[in-house]
């Protein structure tokens, strides 16, 4: 692609031009709830949004032609070949309607097209879902519901444990992890925190301790994952980590699927080292999550095996799924698009250099 074309694609419109030409958005992987909430919030923005139920792939990327921005979600895989195709369209901005960005090849897109995301939408939604999974697994709520629907009112096999006095290890203390810690502290649990960048003022204020990860593995009755996926913590929960855990430990993951080595998790469940597993994310979820396969056979043998365990609770990446969160996601996404096309602002831009060395965005407001 020529330097002239790069410049054309990256340059924001002036406010005057924007008033004359309403930005067009190609919205991929659109679900009915996406359309409902984005249409509602878009009443305050007036963008021209075209919804596509298809995911953004190398086969569908041409559908972005004629748009000024593409709006994508976690299952839209922006690999280098998809990015190459996207650069051949009229789109000038990639707007992620999510916080995570491991589905985007940030190295391939760097310097060619800006990428913005929604860094936060409702940490309470995710935190509350994590705790709901803990309670459901502990007291077998999901099993009891199914049982009573069949008029079976027996209590056999439904015994749980008091959470008060038990130890919870929270790995990742961003906004979500902190809220989980506060909720579980309210239950009377002993809280241990781990984060690469500890917030000692939060710990002091709440009389909670930061610990090393080995101690969390050794002492926790419940381990809850709330960290982003990085090369360093890929398969953080693996065979070696599970071997250090208390027998019967509960593991909750509402973070990223690849934080857990699923085969190691299955081995831990089979040996009863892991007593409970609550997964709102799964490392190979892209093909299945958010879709209806109720009349199909699950071809993923690992996922199918997980579904056979009575002490495993899987939800389909729904921790964020509240009215408040969906409203905030739509508002932030459309605000990101508005700021770029009106003023060239990119407050929520992300690139592969973020967090490493000198940050150009801090100096110029843009990653490049």
Q: Would you please indicate which residues are annotated as catalytic (active-site) residues?
A: 256, 285, 317
Burial letters for 120-142: b for 16+ Cβ neighbours within 10 Å, e otherwise?
Answer: bbbbebbbbbbbbbbebbbebbe
Please give the full DSSP string across 97-146, using - where no structure is assigned: SSS--TTB-HHHHTTTSEEE--S-S-HHHHHHHHHHHHHHHHHTHHHHHH
Using DSSP, state whether 314 is helix, strand or coil: strand
Residue showing tokens 């924001």:
12
Report the distance separating Cα 186 and Cα 208, nearest Å.
12
Give phi and psi for 264, each to the nearest 5.
Answer: -65, -35
Residue 310 CB neighbours (<10 A): 9
Half-sphere exposure of 232 (CA within 13 A, CB side): 4
For residue 272, what is the DSSP state? T
Q: Which of 98, 105, 113, 100 is nearest to 81 (CA)?
A: 105
Residues making up the chain, counted from first to last: 368
Give phi and psi for 222, each to the nearest 5.
Answer: -130, 130
In terms of DSSP bridges, do strands 48-51 and 24-27 run parallel, antiparallel, or are they unpaired? parallel
What angle is formed at CA 74 by the lines to CA 83 and CA 34, rounded to 5 degrees?
Answer: 110
Displacement of CA 365 from its chain's centroid (Å):
25
Sign of the Cα torsion 340, 17, 42, 32 reads negative
Using DSSP, state whether 96 is helix, strand or coil: strand
């Amino acid at each position: 692609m020529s330097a002239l074309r790069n410049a054309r694609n990256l340059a924001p419109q002036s406010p005057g031009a924007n008033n004359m030409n309403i930005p067009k958005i190609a919205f991929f992987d659109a679900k009915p709830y996406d359309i409902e909430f984005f249409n509602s919030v878009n009443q305050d923005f007036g963008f021209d949004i075209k919804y596509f139920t298809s995911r953004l792939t190398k086969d569908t990327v041409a559908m972005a032609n004629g748009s000024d921005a593409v709006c994508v979600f976690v299952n839209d895989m922006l690999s280098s070949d998809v990015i190459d195709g996207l650069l051949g369209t009229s789109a000038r901005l990639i707007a992620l309607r999510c916080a995570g960005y491991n589905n985007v090849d940030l190295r391939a897109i760097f310097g060619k097209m800006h990428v913005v995301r929604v860094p936060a939408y409702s940490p309470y939604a995710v935190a509350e879902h994590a705790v709901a999974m803990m309670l459901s697994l502990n007291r077998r709520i999901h099993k009891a519901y199914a049982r009573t629907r069949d008029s079976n009112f027996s209590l056999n096999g439904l015994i749980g444990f008091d959470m008060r006095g038990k130890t919870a290890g929270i790995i990742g203390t961003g906004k979500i992890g902190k809220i989980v810690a506060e909720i579980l502290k309210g239950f009377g649990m002993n809280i241990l925190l781990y984060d690469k960048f500890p917030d000692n003022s939060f710990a002091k204020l709440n009389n909670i301790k930061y610990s090393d990860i080995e101690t969390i593995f050794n002492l926790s009755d419940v381990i809850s994952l709330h960290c982003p996926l990085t090369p360093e913590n890929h398969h953080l929960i693996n065979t070696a980590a599970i071997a250090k855990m208390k027998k019967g430990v509960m593991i909750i993951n509402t973070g990223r699927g690849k934080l857990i080595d699923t085969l190691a998790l299955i081995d831990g469940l089979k040996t009863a080292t892991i007593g409970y597993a609550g997964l709102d994310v799964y490392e190979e979820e892209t093909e299945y999550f958010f879709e209806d396969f109720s009349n199909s056979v699950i071809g993923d043998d690992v996922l199918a095996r997980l579904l056979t365990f009575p002490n495993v609770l899987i939800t389909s990446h729904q921790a964020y799924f509240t009215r408040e969160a969906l409203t905030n996601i739509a508002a932030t996404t459309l605000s990101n698009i508005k700021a770029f096309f009106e003023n060239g602002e990119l407050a929520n831009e992300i690139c592969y250099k973020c967090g490493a060395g000198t940050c150009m965005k801090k100096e110029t407001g843009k990653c490049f």
